[in-house]
Amino acid sequence: MASVPKPGSTGPDPASARQEFYRRMDRDNLAPLWEVLHALVLPQPQSPCKPGYWNYKAIRPYIMEAGRAISAKEAVRRVLILENPGLRGQSCITRSLYCGLQLILPGEIAPSHRHTQSALRFIVEGAGAYTAVNGERTTMHPGDFIITPAWTWHDHGNPGTEPVVWMDGLDIPILALFDAQFAENYTADVQPVTRNEGSSFASYGNNLAPLDPVAPFGKASPIFSYPYARSRETLAALAKNGAPDPCHGWKMQFINPLSGAPAMPTIGAFIQLLPKGFRSSPYRSTDSTVYSVAEGTGKVKIANEEFAFQPRDTFVVPSWHAASLEAGDECVLFSYSDRPAQLALGLWREHRG
């Protein structure tokens, strides 16, 4: 029991008594909120995530060396993880998202499996490989945006003649937060092909939908491949019909055509066009955002750090960090973030200027 001061005495030192109180409650798995409240309820986001930049030309030798170090089958997924400089060792590029660069060489197969994590692919280099989702294959081309909805069988193969590299984006940290991770390997390396390539797009991608449509992938888009040629054509048409947004240029989001919602329930994906010489107003939002440069050169200033970028480079803007973009040439940027999850929870905020 705590000592009781005698009448007329000053009693024990209050600070020492308090620490002794904390030690006693600690044995029963209790802790005082007032000691940590300032670190739990913040006046604004203070993410440990830092601005990050990866020059593709500089890291490409590592990607190709990985192809000599381990086979796609042995690795299951031959990927180099892009770890945020402030989150090293945690296998993530933001606190909610994972990012990696995956390589598949000619003749290889990355075996089929499925998991509860949602995944996206943005093709960075090479063409001729494929990804298969629940019985349908799609051929990869640079700039294509491809999704693997949660709990769908998927494998990758490369019957072509050149290495293919793509960016993988997954919601791994989000599922880890909820302890909702499940995974399963398919009984063979390659799943059976049961539908012709382009079947999903024919059913849902032309402003048409089957009568009484049933969403094949739940809340994710029934289209799992969004070709770059179509996205680029859309951006070019927009640029002819109006002025660019001062923060984003011409920016569009990939959507689920059945619902108008984002293509995936936890990850939002976007593509934007910056005209030559464009300088954006500063912009910040609560969703940390990962960018891949599809076309053009320019600069990005994130808080007090500045990075020059070129095609195939990657950079990340942490939550609530002001970012501004400057285009040297005409630029196309692909990006993804956890915006849909934040919107669903009523958490998302932005600030312009």
- The structural domain count of the chain equals 1
Token pair of 12 as six digits: 């024990």
The amino acid at 343: L
- 42 in any annotated domain: no
Residue 321 tokens read as: 């960090």
Confidence (pLDDT) at 12: 72
Residue 6 lies in a domain: no
Nearest residue to 166 via CA among 294, 277, 38: 294
Query: What strand order describes the sheet that includes 331-337?
Result: 52-54, 314-317, 289-295, 331-337, 268-274, 250-253
Which pLDDT belongs to residue 323? 98
Give the three-class secondary structure for 45.
Answer: coil
Amino acid 7: pLDDT: 57
For residue 184, what are the CA distances in angstroms to 72, 111, 115, 304? 18, 11, 6, 44
The 10s digit of each residue's pLDDT in 23-53 is 999 999 999 999 999 999 999 999 999 999 9
Please, are residues 301 and 35 in contact by the beta-carbon 8 Å criterion? Answer: no
Contacts of 44 (CB under 8 A, 6+ apart): 320
Q: What is the pTM of this model?
A: 0.94
d(CA 161, CA 152): 28
Tell me the CATH number at 211: 2.60.120.10
Q: Is residue 240 part of a domain?
A: yes
How far from chain centre, in Å, is Cα 271? Answer: 13
Residue 20 belongs to a domain: no
Strands 225-226 and 314-317: unpaired
H/E segment holding residue 137: strand 136-139
Question: What is the DSSP code (8-state) at residue 211?
Answer: S
Has residue 263 been placed in a domain?
yes
Q: What is the pLDDT, as a whole number, of residue 185?
A: 97
Ranges of the chain with pLDDT below 70: 1-11
Residue 233: inside a domain = yes
- Would you say residue 250 lies in a domain? yes
- On whether the CB atoms of residues 282 and 324 are closer than 8 A, the answer is yes
Contact indicator for 224, 197 with CB cutoff of 8 Å:
no
Q: Please enumerate in sequence order all residues whose Cβ is within 8 A of that of 232, keeping only pairs 6 or more positions apart, or say none.
A: 143, 332
The predicted pLDDT at position 81 comes to 98
Which structural domain, as residue segments, surrounds residue 144? 52-352
Q: What percent of the chain has pLDDT over 90?
A: 95
Chain centre distance of CA 211: 33
Residue 41 lies in a domain: no
pLDDT at 241: 93
